[in-house]
Structure 1
């Protein structure tokens, strides 16, 4: 079997006795979620991301320069909300620092509540999402994705950050044999990019076909499934549950 396919297989069906146990496929599921929520926020909340903060910093620069279609306030609300979520997530994962399954469980249960609240807002308010409704959605989703990122950072599964793909893509090329590197782990890295692409595609397809709440509904269902898995994994005492060295 080619190395790339073997790496992809090992990510989707990991060795339960390995250093990260069942975490890789769960990280891929959360990467799909990132694509879903950012498709919703960018297309319906006015050129703002709730998961990828690099984009918001760039958008703030655009807004300051007077570029049409970009809101300094919306990007700032996303940044502040995301940071607040990361703070709460940091507390949650540090309280459960001895067990990676519990770290994931605590963060995802909180994230699910925020995404579910955002879904309810969309259903109650109806489209278009403007004024206070718009900022409430940005805040709720920013809080949820900040929580997710805090947990993912603590879990430290290589190449599966669930949001940042720039370094992942760079590593795929820079570490390749063609670049005289040690090996690109392309199977896992390509899966990560494909997962975000799939989430963004499905989210955009739903929005463009008149189903604005569907990306958040799918996100809530996905989070419920991953949270259930994390709750079951929180009972495990396998080696992967121990935090990585230095964490």
Structure 2
């Protein structure tokens, strides 16, 4: 991922000229990711729809016949994620010169996909059957694959919104060399994912899958609304990071 210019490490974190409002919006998106993965793991047969490293591992467990792991849902999530990433790459190419428009459009498509997934789960009692679980996993994975691809092109350091391995590594490995802004960004990324997963787990356990998933598209819709307003005014953060290097 493209490294941030030095000004991003010392300037205003939430509204600086390099990334503008993107960091706070990506933190909201990270919380939504934790919530969606909580629903998928706890309600769809132990399948990740955002974290493909975990999903590939779960897929191996399912192929081995380990109980509790859904082969069909894992395959659907893996395939859906690739489709979403492909779509996200195409969207990023078309919106390459406007980062705010890219995130707005990606979040809008995600919102629609997750609302369809919520619709499939409405009225469901108990654990969804393999067919329904696979369909919901595929839709959610398409949404998260699209998100992952779009966010990758935004190039905001330490805010991938879907995986935390390198973020956690950076917190520990660079603790002596990273500035306060960088450490804060990384810690907040981990914290928001945790809080999203916690909220998702509590909702799954106490209110059911459809209602547990619903806050995710609501958060994404809020991101769309914010960006619909802020992108109307040209600003330096809208330009690709590489163009200002």
TM-score between both structures, scaled by the size of structure 2: 0.90
Shift of 1:60: 1.6
Shift of 1:128: 2.4
Residues in 2 aligned to 1:168 and 1:42: alpha-carbon distance in whole angstroms: 22
From 205, 212, 217, the equivalent of 1:220 is: 217
Contact 1:175 1:183 in 2 (8 A): no
Shift of 1:25: 0.3
Specify whether residues 165 and 124 from structure 1 end up closer, same or farther in structure 2 by C-alpha distance, changes over 3 A only.
same
Contact 2:73 2:130 in 1 (8 A): no
Contact 1:127 1:212 in 2 (8 A): no
Residue correspondence of structure 1 range 191-202 to structure 2 within 5 A = 191-202=188-199
The gaps in structure 1 that reach 5 residues or longer are 1-6
- CA displacement 1:84-105 (0-9 Å, x = unmatched): 0111111112111110011111
- CA displacement 1:27-60 (0-9 Å, x = unmatched): 0000000110000000000010111111011112
- Equivalent in the alignment of 2:145: 146
Establish whether residue 45 from structure 1 lines up as the match of residue 44 from structure 2. Answer: yes
- Equivalent in the alignment of 1:237: 234
Shift of 1:77: 1.0
- Equivalent in the alignment of 1:84: 83
Q: Secondary structure at the match of 1:209?
A: helix
Residues in 1 aligned to 2:19 and 2:166: alpha-carbon distance in whole angstroms: 20
Residue correspondence of structure 1 range 10-89 to structure 2 within 5 A = 11=13, 14-16=14-16, 18-89=17-88
Contact 1:125 1:133 in 2 (8 A): no
Q: Secondary structure at the match of 2:242?
A: coil
Residues in 1 aligned to 2:162 and 2:72: alpha-carbon distance in whole angstroms: 22
- Equivalent in the alignment of 1:99: 98
Residues in 2 aligned to 1:124 and 1:208: alpha-carbon distance in whole angstroms: 16
Contact 1:203 1:214 in 2 (8 A): no
Q: Secondary structure at the match of 1:213?
A: helix
Contact 1:86 1:146 in 2 (8 A): yes
Q: Secondary structure at the match of 2:127?
A: coil
CA RMSD after TM alignment = 1.9
Residues in 1 aligned to 2:70 and 2:207: alpha-carbon distance in whole angstroms: 24
Q: Secondary structure at the match of 1:245?
A: helix
Shift of 1:69: 1.5
Specify whether residues 126 and 140 from structure 1 end up closer, same or farther in structure 2 by C-alpha distance, changes over 3 A only.
farther
Establish whether residue 188 from structure 1 lines up as the match of residue 150 from structure 2. Answer: no
TM-score between both structures, scaled by the size of structure 1: 0.89
Shift of 1:136: 1.1
Residues in 1 aligned to 2:74 and 2:232: alpha-carbon distance in whole angstroms: 39
Contact 1:53 1:79 in 2 (8 A): yes
Residues in 2 aligned to 1:220 and 1:107: alpha-carbon distance in whole angstroms: 12
